[in-house]
Amino acid sequence: MARQSTRPRLGGVYQRGARWWIRYQHRGEQRREPGGLDGRGARTKDEAEAKLRQRLAEVETGRYVGPAGDRLTVGGLLDDYLAHLEMKGAKGTAQTRCHLVAIRERFGTDRAVDVSTQRIREHIAARLAAGATPATVNRGLQAVRAALNLARKEGRFQAVPYFPLLRERNTRRGFFERAEHEAIRAKLPDPHRDVAEFGYRTGWRLGEILQLAWADVDGEAGCVYLAESKNDDPRTFPLRDEDGRLTELGDLVEQRRKLRAYGSGDTCGVSRYVFHVEGHRVWNFNRVWREAANAAKLPGRLFHDYRRTAARDLVRAGVPESVAMRITGHRTAAVFRRYNITSDRDKREAVSKLTGYRAAQRDQHNVVVHRASGDAS
């Protein structure tokens, strides 16, 4: 007959053959499982009671996962998370895999329940010592946190530990003045030159511009339609002004229309892309851009600086923020405002206006004092 050691309100341990098991209550249900800390039946009563205390603490603190949760590994949850991203068609899944390489090396075979804030801090320190940037470390940790949260939502995991993240100071603040844009544009070959002009005028991302097909250009409506973007929000950009005339951007698109045909003889064709090289999408843009930036004596400048430039110039032009965001494709006002960078010229103009305003106040004050002194006399 099995010998038992019980605590009626909490649980107890009991013996089955040569091994010890535990029993306890969770959400009104009786749970039984092997009492060994390794997931098997315990060889001693003390080991079983240690496992029981662990389970009771998990139940009390809301961290209970049960035997099935004990078997979950970090690597397995990461696999499930990546499969979830692919099923959703999420962008950047390949990049996420790269960020998880270091995570798998440190945590991959560990039980998910053993991931703690202290171990995360140790991982951060090791990665920084190895030369990883704060942004790289954060991307990996954010993916692990997302994997644990997904398992929690699915009911397979309970409490996700706190993930301390590093402060990132890599926000770029570059933007183009017109002369700088023209300098780089002059060094670019066709069609890269027209891609740069399109980016300068719209503030759209490079990938969005390079994927533009003629099916996205509505000649009758006079606009370019972008169905797929980074944030999945479709948007349009007008090619005609209020009077129906083609804008400079509209003229550029019409010039590209005349360049749709490529090749000659048996190898001729018509490209489906607005910007193409022999009918194919432009694929080597970043290399060509770097060479042009160096030749223009503007090394290190990024195509993405056009995005900040457009945000700044739209605000300068007095366009309402909500309208400007729809043009550039910013989803949140916080990000848009970060891109609306104030230049030294803006500051000088602001100081001049402030000086003029205070001078006018001083003159007005002097007039009032003069009149008051005249009345007194």
Structure letter (DSSP) for residue 213: B
Q: Is residue 128 part of a domain?
A: yes
The answer to whether the bond into 191 is cis (omega within 30° of 0) is: yes
Assess if residue 69 is contained within a domain. no
Could you tell me if 334 and 255 lie in one domain? Answer: yes
290 with 203, same domain: the answer is yes
pLDDT band with cut points at 50, 70 and 90 for residue 1: very low
Are 192 and 271 found together in one domain?
yes
pLDDT of residue 6: 42
- With respect to residue 163, please indicate whether it lies within any of the assigned structural domains: no
DSSP assignment of 236-278 equals EEESB-TTS-B-HHHHHHHHHHHT-EE--GGG-EE-SBSSEET
Residue 296 in any domain: the answer is yes
pLDDT tens digits along 53-110: 888 887 887 777 677 667 789 999 999 999 999 998 887 888 899 999 999 999 999 9
Last residue of a domain, one of 45, 64, 83: 64
Whether pLDDT at 5 is above 60: no
Both 205 and 89 in one domain: the answer is no
Residues 204 and 329 in one domain: yes
Residues 281 and 204 in one domain: yes
* 86, 189: one domain: no
Residues 184 and 36 in one domain: no
Residue 2 and residue 14 in contact, taking contact as beta carbons nearer than 8 Å:
yes
Cβ pair 310, 202 in contact under 8 A: yes
Query: How many domains are there within the chain?
Result: 4
Would you say residue 170 lies in a domain?
A: no
Task: For residue 62, give the amino acid letter.
Answer: G
Q: Say whether both 55 and 118 belong to one domain.
A: no
* Domain boundaries, position 42: 4-64
**Where does the pLDDT of residue 230 fall: very low under 50, low under 70, confident under 90, or very high at 90 and above?**
low
In one-letter notation, the amino acid at residue 30 is Q
* pLDDT-above-70 percentage for the chain: 84
Q: Which of 153, 188, 206 is the last residue of a domain?
A: 153
Long-range interactions of 339-344: CB distance < 8 A, separation 24+? 339/307, 339/308, 339/311, 339/312, 340/308, 340/311, 340/312, 340/315, 341/173, 341/175, 341/308, 341/311, 341/312, 342/312, 343/175, 343/177, 343/312
- Distances in whole angstroms, Cα of residue 133 to Cα of each of 98, 122, 129, 297: 14, 15, 10, 28
199-213, 254-268, 332-346: least confidently modelled range: 332-346
Answer yes or no: do 360 and 250 share one domain.
no
Give the pLDDT confidence of 356-375 residue by residue, as tens digits.
777 787 778 677 666 766 66
- Cα separation, 65 vs 70, in Å, equals 7
Question: Does 278 map to a domain?
Answer: yes
Q: Same structural domain for residues 36 and 147?
A: no
- Please tell me the predicted confidence (pLDDT) of residue 131: 92
- Same domain, yes or no, for 331 and 354? no
Band (pLDDT 50/70/90 cuts) for residue 308 is confident
Q: Flag whether 169 is in a domain.
A: no
* 224 within domain boundaries: yes
> What CATH number does residue 314 fall under?
1.10.443.10
How high is the pLDDT of residue 375?
Answer: 62
Q: Are strands 269-270 and 276-277 parallel, antiparallel or unpaired?
A: unpaired
Q: What is the pLDDT of residues 159-206, one digit of tens each?
A: 789 999 998 875 556 788 899 999 999 999 999 999 999 999 988 989
* 8: pLDDT strictly greater than 50: no
- Residue at which a domain ends, from 99, 119, 153: 153
- pLDDT tens for 198-214 read 999 988 989 999 999 99
